[in-house]
Amino acid sequence: MKRSMLTRILAATVLAALGIGAAQAQSADKYPSRQIRLLVPAPPGGPGDVIARIVGEHMSETWKQPVVVENRPGANNITATDMVAKAAPDGQTLLLTVDYAMTVNPHVFKSLPYDPIKDFAHISTIANAVCVVVAASGTGIQTFDDLVKQSRGRSDGLTVAVGTMTTRLMTERLAELVKGKLSVIPYKGSSESFTAIMGGHVDLSFAGFTPFKPNVSQGRFNVLASTGRARSAATPNVPTLEELGYPGFYTGVWMGLAAPAGTPAAVVQKIGAELNRILALPEVKDQFNRLGLDPLPSTPQTTVELIQQESERWGKIIREKNIRLD
């Protein structure tokens, strides 16, 4: 009797699992059945906005459904991120994730309305921005070795224009590596920090390469190093910090794609496969290259691992420097 009951329970469990799997597959077959919202936690015109529109256009062509990009900037990326965390888990609302919304915000805000792991079905990373260290031409800093010598030799050190929390943390980490003095000069966004170094108000900046590119050829800036694991296609002549003898400094400003937690796995897989197909297209690679971006296709698992690893690394620096935003 007991064995018969156990058999029935096991059979029911298997059938239920098969039913769920079949329902998910059917859901994925019909996906998307209507317009998709792609929320971007940044204003129009920036790299994240452009990336979202490139990806959205290709998805629309494949799926014959509109992908509408909605710009929801504000509150250190919290506004858009929280909206998607609370959206219906049907794959119709997606988020262009930004690294520090997932890896930095949990450490600098006492109360965050979303959990970067539990509240999302992370689909894939999309791109990594080429980050470089640049020096204003008037500083006399021609090479990274010059930066190290001046940061150690000058009593006041060197000043660094910082427009985002990520670039501030990069600066703190770089100061530790070179054992020199780098003073953070905060600005309200990357555009203001760019204006500051353009005007000669600071010595260095630590940001994406794209805004500096037109001015490098005019001799206004010297590009000293990049922060990737390998040389970027966008900056093939710029050495990495590891090449220059400073291993362990692998970072960038990456963006990804996520859906609300609970989105069917088959739908997540379908979106991820389409995204990775798009990132492999030669014209997309070329568009990203012109933006100073490297395509960064991945999987849900590797995306979550990246978030966890970077969260641990940045969290350590934030605790040591006692950095808070609330």
Quote the pLDDT of residue 23. 46
Considering the domain architecture, whether residues 121 and 155 belong to the same structural domain is answered as no
Q: Check whether residue 103 and residue 174 sit in a common domain.
A: no
Specify if 79 maps to a domain. yes
Q: What is the pTM of this model?
A: 0.82
The pLDDT value recorded for residue 22 is: 46
Among the candidates 211, 226, 241, a domain finishes at: 226
Phi, psi of 179 (to 5 degrees): 55, 40
User: Could you tell me whether strands 204-208 and 158-162 are parallel, antiparallel, or unpaired per DSSP bridges?
Assistant: parallel
> Final residue of a domain: which of 226, 244, 271?
226
At 14, is the secondary structure helix, strand, or coil?
Answer: helix
Same domain, 142 and 118: no
Same domain membership, residue 122 and residue 38: yes
End-to-end CA distance of the chain: 62
* pLDDT one digit per residue (tens) for the chain, 326 residues: 455 665 665 555 555 555 555 445 546 888 999 999 999 998 888 888 999 999 999 999 999 999 999 999 888 899 999 999 999 999 999 999 999 899 999 999 989 999 999 999 999 999 988 788 999 988 999 999 999 999 999 989 999 999 888 888 889 989 998 999 999 999 887 778 888 988 889 999 987 777 677 777 677 888 999 988 888 877 888 999 999 998 877 777 899 999 999 999 999 999 999 999 999 999 999 999 888 888 999 999 999 999 999 999 899 999 998 988 87
d(CA 158, CA 78): 32
- Please indicate, yes or no, if residue 282 is contained in any of the structural domains: yes
Residues 115 and 135 in one domain: no
CATH number at residue 310: 3.40.190.150
What's the confidence (pLDDT) of residue 12? Answer: 53
The reply to whether 110 and 121 lie within a common domain is yes
Angle (CA) 168 97 165, round 5°: 10
Does one domain contain both 146 and 181? yes
Indicate if 305 and 286 belong to the same structural domain.
yes
Phi-psi region of 130 (alpha: psi -120 to 50; beta: other; left: phi over 0): beta
Q: How many CB atoms lie within 10 A of CB 22?
A: 10
Q: Is residue 194 part of a domain?
A: yes
Domain count, the chain: 2
What range defines the domain where residue 199 resides? 131-226
269 and 216 fall within a common domain? no
